[in-house]
Structure 1
């Protein structure tokens, strides 16, 4: 028996097990968590962009929120957690607020700012 055929006969019974383990390992390397859809937009009030606004999408059927902070042009892109762009598909309650501290130091000192978004835009 040649060395190649001996190797093949020893490995043949193990091959399906090796393939199965490899598939399980590779499946574990994929994205985890819920299905997400990309969400981006612009917040404007009286035709002017609202910079520094916190935009929160809360799923109506329960689940975790997605949020973003608008840039100077009022543009935002939602994130679900730290590094996952998007929001869970479905109907959401959307809130937009601006009366918050702009830094951790201001937060620690209890500094707040007046809300620039009228309440009627955040009421149900």
Structure 2
């Protein structure tokens, strides 16, 4: 059986210090280091890129921010939670956008998926880059951005 704290020794206070410290630590954490909202648009040869992802990798290290491309080539970045943006400072940027060619349409139901479980045809789906593949890697994209406090609107018009 555990030993009880003596009443006169301050043991009551000590029992609450551990849980109190944990609560205070968690309350102080927030969402992590400073972030700022980042949104923007991606175009390739003047045409909006409507599928794929944009990623910002902090030059100083830390968690990258990502966002999906959507209608009009628009994106919104998230690092720790939905739409919270990216860490402040300089970033290397990647844009990865490809589509599958000759891919069968996704099944509409489980029974349709089961019936399509036959061996794939010899000429299977192939990936086609919507923007050049070089933009999908930090080492070759050549894209950078700086995130500052406040709202950031960053556009990429890829050649």
TM-score range, shorter chain: 0.5 to 0.7
Runs of 4+ in 1 over 4 A off after TM superposition: 24-28, 119-122
1:40-51 counterparts in 2 under 5 A? Answer: 40-51=39-50
Residue 75 of structure 2 aligns with which residue? Answer: 76
Residue 53 of structure 2 aligns with which residue? Answer: 54
Count of residues in Structure 1 that have an aligned counterpart in Structure 2: 99
Q: How far did residue 39 of structure 1 move?
A: 0.6
TM-score normalized with structure 2 length:
0.50
Aligned-CA RMSD value: 3.2
Q: How far did residue 33 of structure 1 move?
A: 0.9
TM-score normalized with structure 1 length:
0.62
Tell me which moved more, 113-122 or 38-47: 113-122
CA distance in 2, matches of 1:51, 1:77: 13
Residue 8 of structure 1 aligns with which residue? Answer: none
Higher-RCO chain (CA-CA 8 Å, sequence separation at least 6)? 2
CA distance in 2, matches of 1:73, 1:61: 31
- In the alignment, structure 2 segments of 5+ residues that lack a partner are 1-19, 101-105, 107-124, 143-159
- Whichever structure has more strand as a proportion of its residues is 2
CA distance in 2, matches of 1:112, 1:94: 26
Q: Residues 81-116 of structure 1: CA distance to partner in whole angstroms, max 9, x if unpaired?
A: 343511001110000011377xxx8xxxxx663111
CA distance in 2, matches of 1:88, 1:62: 10
- In the alignment, structure 1 segments of 5+ residues that lack a partner are 1-21, 106-110
